[in-house]
Amino acid sequence: MARNGSKQSQSSPVRLWPLLAINFFMADMQSGIGPFVGVFLAQRGWESGLIGTAMSIGNIAGMLITTPVGGFIDASHHKRGWVIVPGAAVVAASSIILLWQNFWAVAASQVATSIAGAAIVPAVTGITLGIVGQKGFNRQNGRNQAFNHAGNMVGAAVSGFLGWYFGYLSVFLLAAAFGAITIACVLMIPPGTIDHRTARGWKEDEPDRQPHALTVLLKHKTLLVLALALAVFHLGNAAIVPLYGISAVTGKEANGPGFVATIIVIAQGTMVIASLVGMRVAEKRNFWMLLLVSFLVLPLRGLLACFLSGWPGVVPVEILDGIGTGLQSVAVPGMIARSLYSTGRVNLAQGAVITIQGAGAALSPALGGLIAGWIGFSPAFLVLGGFGLAAATIWVVLGAAVREY
């Protein structure tokens, strides 16, 4: 019955609109006040190193839980619940920051947000694969990412306006509203339209044989190279946006909410275009070139961030951010789904890659904050941008394991 529903959903576009709506509204729900945390705390006297440490604690917690969550999603026949429960938790956890601004309260909020958010991406990936199948995944994932980035853009623009006009409380209320709508959209997807065999990467007529989880995680060369390159990339990339916002606010070059919202709107608007272009390129070629381009964008972005601070640098720096992240949002899940086809471990692998790249992202804010405190913001951007060159080197040198995908 599930398979019939899955085939029916492919010929009935209306079935896909709840999925697109989930991606649009979950964007603001997933990040909540995340992009605004740095400037929110900086305006309350926090130092950049302390802000980065609190954010890193949350990132580490999310990193540790993502791989087992991916395995649970593979085995679960209640994939919608893996979006609903984390969505409610993200909204509740984010509100803690408004009530208490001491270090451990902020760190606890970031931990809860990261753990809940860790489940959303592999869950939506699994739902998408279960509805449209392997052949339709690349195109549908590209559309999902375009809607997700558009949701981030709209959410950031509205959050920036509301934060500027009404204060930070309105930003939390908007995240809560997006969360409620996301949950409603998930419930609009009939459970029978999700083929749970397809959702985890099994061929339709293949017996239920699958490699051991450790075999997939430790011996699949494509997965290992992809995870390593992404970890190095995000070690440099993740700190640039919060540091860029903090440097502008502390230097009196911009107001907090409006500046952060502008950063996000420009980046996410570019990501919408980049994800759709990436989807088309992947259909004609493969995902390897997309990822190489995404890695090479980071050094140029770090260079521009070094010499263009505040409002003059927002447009070029964040357009480059949008290109790199937009291409990765299509290429990473696509390469995982394609390279692990027929293993039955797609969502486990998705979670594992998020975990490893999350290790880089988790350390990045603390590293960036320490570098900025030691040598200043501008040189820190150059150092962080250099990690993009390292990731590109890994991608080319070890290309034999990934180039075919």
DSSP string, 236-277: HHTTHHHHHHHHHHHTTSS-HHHHHHHHHHHHHHHHHHHHHH
> How far apart are the C-alpha atoms of 236 and 303, rounded to whole Å?
13
The residue with greater pLDDT, 161 or 303, is 303
Whose tokens are 């140029």? That residue is 300
Chain Cα centroid distance, residue 144: 12
Tokens of 98: 């408004």
pLDDT band at 8 (very low <50, low <70, confident <90, very high): very low
| CB neighbour class for 386 (10 Å; exposed up to 12, middle 13-18, buried from 19) | middle
Residue 328: the pLDDT is 92
Q: Specify the pTM.
A: 0.73
> How far apart are the C-alpha atoms of 326 and 331, rounded to whole Å?
9
Residue 10: the pLDDT is 41
Residue-wise pLDDT for 220-269, tens only, equals 788 889 989 999 999 998 888 778 777 666 655 555 556 666 777 788 88
Residue-wise pLDDT for 135-172, tens only, equals 888 888 889 988 988 887 887 778 777 777 787 677 77
Residue 231: the pLDDT is 92
Residue-wise pLDDT for 29-68, tens only, equals 655 556 567 767 777 778 777 887 887 787 777 777 878 8
Tokens of 235: 């070690």
pLDDT band at 391 (very low <50, low <70, confident <90, very high): very high
Lowest-confidence range among 116-120, 128-132, 211-215, 347-351?
211-215
Residue 109 has pLDDT above 90, yes or no: no
CA distances from 48 to 40, 55, 98, 369 (A): 12, 11, 19, 5
